[in-house]
Every structure is written in structure tokens, then in C-alpha cells.
């Protein structure tokens, strides 16, 4: 069972970490909403695998980290696409 402090820390780390920042930047590269969400979710899936399981005794990354990373990545990708749509009105 994940505690509230672990949950908030995981969400904050994903927003300020690779899924959030790279998700927004990948979303800014496209005007397609679905493609932006898929690219953000891909980053959210790969980031816990690469960065979350770096401890020698931690063999598997918990499912909650993957789910939170994918959700944050999708939202960040959609946010980047929304910024692109709103900013490209000229």
C-alpha cells in the first residue's frame, strides 16, 4: 500500500521530472492531440523504468509509479499541444 506522502512525492517528481518537462516539449512539437498524448504517455512509461529502478535492491518498479508517470506524461503532452494551439493563432 502506498502512503499519502509517497503518492504526493511521486506526482511531484513526475511533474517536475522527465515526464512533465519532456511531455510538454513533445506536445509543443505537434498539433495533433492524440499524438501529443501518446508521446507524453510513452515518456511517462519509459522514465520510471530508466530512472526509478536505479537502486540495487529495488528489482521492480511499482505499478503505481508507472500509472502516475503515464497519466502525468499524457497530461503534459496535452498541455504542450494546447499551448501550441493557443499560441499559433497568428
Domain boundaries, the chain: 13-51
3-class SS of residue 33: helix
* pLDDT tens sequence across 19-58: 899 999 999 999 999 999 999 999 988 887 787 655 545 5
* pLDDT tens sequence across 78-87: 999 999 998 8
Rounded to an integer, the average pLDDT of 63-89 is 89
Q: Kindly state the cell numbers that stand for 60.
A: 521492480
**Which pLDDT score is estimated for 13?**
87
Q: Do 68 and 11 touch, CB atoms closer than 8 A?
A: yes
Amino acid at each position: 500500500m502506498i502512503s499519502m506522502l509517497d503518492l504526493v512525492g511521486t506526482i511531484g517528481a513526475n511533474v517536475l521530472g522527465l515526464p512533465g518537462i519532456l511531455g510538454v516539449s513533445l506536445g509543443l512539437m505537434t498539433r495533433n492531440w492524440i499524438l501529443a498524448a501518446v508521446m507524453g504517455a510513452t515518456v511517462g512509461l519509459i522514465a520510471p523504468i530508466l530512472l526509478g529502478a536505479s537502486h540495487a535492491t529495488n528489482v521492480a518498479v511499482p505499478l503505481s509509479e508507472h500509472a502516475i508517470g503515464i497519466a502525468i506524461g499524457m497530461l503534459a503532452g496535452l498541455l504542450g499541444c494546447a499551448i501550441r494551439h493557443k499560441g499559433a493563432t497568428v
